[in-house]
Homo-oligomer: A and B are copies of this chain.
Amino acid sequence: MSSKPIEQPSSTTLATISTPADDWEITQISPGALSLMAEFFKVLSEVSRLQIACCLKSGEKNVTEIMEATGLGQANVSKHMKILTQAGIVSREQVGVCVYYRIDNPILFGLCDLVYDSLLQQSQQQDRQLRSLELLRQSR
């Protein structure tokens, strides 16, 4: 993603150049480390993959079962499973002709819980703000 041609002459160089040691912060994190994190989040940023993860929460499934549970196409599921596997979120086990996948990283659901709480909180806040507009209504 992106195309950053010239930008980012290696963040260390950058920090050295742009911040002359004054407001240097220990919080500076290497872009490489952040890339790993961004990459992980990207895996979870597709509805299809979240669907797949959800349908695996109740137990392992093979590709065909995942297709049925999610309505996704075969090639598509296969590609997603590769991505999920490489991210360490799911593990693969071949049994005869079938390949069974299962959740291998329970942290996934911890993440979803956090995001869920966050979304819920935002939604409730928006709701309160909207309700305050009630005062503008004409009738009764």
- The answer to whether A54 and B72 have CB atoms under 8 Å apart is no
Q: Does A127 contact B (CB under 8 A)?
A: no
- The answer to whether B27 and A55 have CB atoms under 8 Å apart is yes
Q: Does A99 contact B (CB under 8 A)?
A: no
Q: Copy number in this complex?
A: 2
Interface size class of A (residues with CB under 8 A): 35 or more
Q: Does A51 contact B (CB under 8 A)?
A: yes
Most central of A35, A58, A69 by chain B CB within 10 Å:
A69
B-contact 0/1 string along A30-73, CB 8 Å cutoff: 01001111111110111110110011011000000000110111
- The answer to whether A44 and B38 have CB atoms under 8 Å apart is yes
Q: Does A98 contact B (CB under 8 A)?
A: no
What CA separation (Å) do A114 and B9 show in the bound complex? Answer: 29
B-contact 0/1 string along A95-114, CB 8 Å cutoff: 00000000001010011101
Asked, given contacts A42-B45, A46-B1, A114-B114, whether A54 binds B73 with beta carbons under 8 Å apart, the answer is: no
- The answer to whether B71 and A50 have CB atoms under 8 Å apart is no
- The answer to whether A88 and B44 have CB atoms under 8 Å apart is no
Cβ 8 A contact of A42, one of B42, B55, B57: B42
- The answer to whether B122 and A118 have CB atoms under 8 Å apart is no
Q: Does A134 contact B (CB under 8 A)?
A: no
A-B complex: 7 closest residue pairs judged by Cβ atoms: A42-B45, A41-B45, A41-B44, A14-B71, A107-B118, A34-B50, A38-B47
